[in-house]
Amino acid sequence: MGDGRTHTAYKRANTSPEVGDKAVEELCDLGIIRLEKSKKVFTSWAENDSTKISNKLYFTSPFLRFWFAFISPIFKGIKEGDYKEVRERFLNRESEFTNLTFEQLSQELLKLLFEDDKIVECSSYWDNEVELEIYAKTKSGKIIAGTCKYTNAKVKKSELTKLQEKCEKAKIKADIFVIFSKRGFSSELKSLKGENLKLYTVKNFKKLVE
């Protein structure tokens, strides 16, 4: 849980980068977590030297993430039949847990949706100022940037504006914007749908199990 960045994980674990790096290497070898590097492209040596962007850590499956977030820390109480703390823990962090799961499923779905121009790279994007849930490249070289909204409100045009502003700030020249939404989209946003804007709802996720 949390932002997944290595420096954050090491700080929470109260360990040094050296010890943390060794632990990450061992956990990766065991298949428990995977390490992902930022897709930030540095435009100069000065920028590269002065800007340190942490890698991110991801559990290799939602079950492992659930286990270490909600079960392992309070396993003793669960073993003794006390489920109050785990229920409270889950309710307090349910949104954080489901948001990343929705994001990862959206990435997998996106790979299936682009059939004519196959996606050759798909992940998230982050640097020290900007984060995007979706950052992908197609076989023809098109850049796709997107956001995922697992909320009970329809996504409005303002979310597209925010996405465009993030790309501009990160100097990402996106050819296509994609938005995944749990509850759908406003009429204003749907009217903008086209070759450069793709909108997907939970109904589209059926493709993952076909």
Summarised one tens digit per residue, pLDDT across range 81-109 is: 988 998 999 999 888 889 999 999 999 99
At 36-50, the pLDDT tens digits run 988 887 655 555 544
CATH top-level class of 115-209 = alpha beta
74: burial class by Cβ within 10 Å (0-12, 13-18, 19+)? Answer: middle
Q: Which CA distances in Å does 27 have to 60, 153, 170?
A: 10, 38, 31
Average model confidence (pLDDT) across the chain: 91
Domain ranges of the chain: 6-102, 115-209
At 3-40, the pLDDT tens digits run 788 988 888 888 998 999 999 999 999 999 999 988 88
- Nearest one of 100, 95, 106, 119 to 199, comparing CA atoms: 106
Contacts (Cβ under 8 Å, ≥6 apart) of 103: 124, 133, 134, 148
Side chain identity, residue 87: R
